[in-house]
Structure 1
Amino acid sequence: MTTLTADLFWSFRSPYSFLATRRYRALVREYDLEIVFRPVYPLAIREPDFFERNHPNWLGYVMRDVMRLSQYLQIEIGRPTPDPIVQDIATRKISSDQPHIFRLTRLGQAAARAGRGLAFADEASRLIWEGKVSWNEGDHLAAAAARAGLDLAALDQEAAREADALDAEIAANQAALEAGGHWGVPTLLFNGEPFFGQDRIDVALWRMKQAGLSRRLS
C-alpha cells in the first residue's frame, strides 16, 4: 500500500481556505494520504491593489457566498476579530501596517516544518474565523497551537529568529503554486494537477482514488 502525497496552498486570510481545512484534515485521517501544508501570503500582501482593481460587486459577492457556504456546509463562521489583514473595507485599501498576517503565516510555515501545518491551520483558522473571541489576545492562539500538538512560544521564537528563512520558504510555496497552474487559495496540487477552491475537494478525492488512494487500515 502506497501513501499518496498532495500539496495544499493556503492562506490565513482566506475564508474559503478555512471552509476547506477541516475537510482536508478529515481526508488525511480517513485515507492513506499525506497533505503537505504550504502557506502563502494572501493577495492583499502579494498584490496590495488587488481589491481596488476588482469589480465593485466582487467583495460583496464573496462575503455573501462565504456566509451561504458556511450554512450549506454547516461550518460556523463569523467576523474575524481582528481581521488578519488591516484593510479599509469602505475604500478596500490595504494598510501598509500589517501586524498580524506576517506572524500568522510564519507560524504556519514553522508548523509545517514540524509536520503539524495542517493541524495548526485547522485549529488557528477555527479560532480566527468563528469570530467568537479576539484571537490575538490572552491564551487563545496558544491553546489552538496546543490542540495541534505545538508550543506557541517556541513557534513565535522560531518565527522571529528565522523570519527571513521562513519568508523564503513561503515565497517558494507561492512559486510552486504558480508553477502548478494556479495563483489562488485553497489549491490542492496532486500529481501536477491543481484543484482550486473548497468546492473541488470531491473532485480531488475522485482523482486521487483513480491513482490508487485507499482508506487507512483501522
Structure 2
Amino acid sequence: MTVKIDTYYDFRSPYAYFADYRARNADFGLAVEVEWVGRPIFIDVILNLQSGREPWAPYVDTLIPPKRAYLMADIRRMARFYGAPYKPSWKWPNRPNQIPALCIASLLSGRAEEVFRSAIFDGLWHEQRDISDPAVLREAVARAGGDPAVVEQAADPGVRDALTRRTVEAYANGVFGTPTFVWNGEIFFGADRLEVLAWKVNRAADE
C-alpha cells in the first residue's frame, strides 16, 4: 500500500529542510509506503496574502527582535535535535534567490522532483552552494535524471505566473506556511508534526 501525501515547501525555510531531511532519513513511525508529492510554493506570496497585500508586493519583515533571536536559536537547536547537517554559507536574512529553483521544481514530477528538491535543500542548508547559480541548478536536475534544459524553460515568466497561481490556490485551501503536509484533506504544519501525520495514516491503514 502506497499513500500519497502532498508536501508544500519552499527552499528558504529551514523547517522545510528539516522535514525533507527527516522524510529521507528518519523513522517516525509510518507503517506504509509513502509518496511525498512535492508542491513548491512561494512563501513571500503566502506572507503577503496573509497581510492583505498583493501576491508580489515588496517583502515586509514582520519579525520583532525577540522573535528573530528565538528563531535563530531554535533553528540551530532543531538541527542538532534532528541530526540534520546545518552549515549555510550566507548570513540571515541574505539568502540566495530561491525563485529559479522553485520554478524548476514546479516543472518536475515524481522521482525527479523529489531528488531535485532534496539536492537544493542540501545545497542551500549545508553544502554551501549558491542555489541561484544556473550551473548548480543544471547539476541538480541532471542528478535527478531530468533534462538540464528545464533550467532555461523555468526562466519563462509564464512558469512563475503559474506557480504564483498555484500558491494563491494553496493559500485559499488552508496552506499558510511551509512545510505543510496534506493527507486525506487534513493539514499538518511543521517538521515536528510528522509523527502525528504518521499516526493518522497508520490508524487509517488499520481500519
Question: TM-score by structure 1 length?
Answer: 0.75
Could you say if the C-alpha distance between residues 170 and 208 of structure 1 is closer, same or farther in structure 2, counting changes exceeding 3 Å? farther
Q: Is the aligned partner of 1:186 residue 2:179?
A: yes
Q: Is the aligned partner of 1:156 residue 2:155?
A: no
Alignment-derived partner of residue 166 in structure 2: 172
Q: In the alignment, which of 95, 98, 103 is matched to residue 101 of structure 1?
A: 98
Q: Secondary structure at the match of 1:211?
A: helix
Q: Secondary structure at the match of 2:86?
A: coil
Alignment-derived partner of residue 7 in structure 2: 8
Q: What are the residue-to-residue correspondences of 1:11-160 with 2, within 5 Å? A: 11-25=10-24, 31-43=32-44, 46-47=47-48, 48-51=58-61, 53-81=62-90, 86=94, 100-112=97-109, 116-137=112-133, 139-151=135-147, 153-160=148-155
User: What amino acid does structure 2 have at the position aligned with 1:37?
Assistant: G
1:82–1:134 Cα contact (<8 Å) kept? no
Distance 1:211 1:116 in 2: 29
- Listed as ranges, the gaps of 5+ residues in structure 1 are 88-98, 214-218
**CA deviation vs aligned residue, 1:131-160 (integer Å, no higher than 9, x gap):** 534444584333332322223x32212212
Q: Secondary structure at the match of 1:6?
A: strand
**CA deviation vs aligned residue, 1:79-109 (integer Å, no higher than 9, x gap):** 24487x757xxxxxxxxxxx82321210111
CA RMSD, 1 decimal? 3.0
Q: Secondary structure at the match of 1:160?
A: coil
Could you say if the C-alpha distance between residues 150 and 130 of structure 1 is closer, same or farther in structure 2, counting changes exceeding 3 Å? same
Could you say if the C-alpha distance between residues 210 and 80 of structure 1 is closer, same or farther in structure 2, counting changes exceeding 3 Å? farther
Q: State the shift of 1:174 in Å.
A: 4.2
Could you say if the C-alpha distance between residues 208 and 159 of structure 1 is closer, same or farther in structure 2, counting changes exceeding 3 Å? same
- Listed as ranges, the gaps of 5+ residues in structure 2 are 49-57
Q: Secondary structure at the match of 1:76?
A: coil
Alignment-derived partner of residue 204 in structure 1: 197
2:111–2:144 Cα contact (<8 Å) kept? no
Could you say if the C-alpha distance between residues 103 and 30 of structure 1 is closer, same or farther in structure 2, counting changes exceeding 3 Å? farther
Distance 1:166 1:35 in 2: 22
Distance 1:21 1:174 in 2: 23
User: What amino acid does structure 1 have at the position aligned with 2:126?
Assistant: E
Q: State the shift of 1:49 in Å.
A: 4.6
Q: Secondary structure at the match of 1:149?
A: coil
Q: State the shift of 1:38 in Å.
A: 0.6
Q: State the shift of 1:129 in Å.
A: 0.9
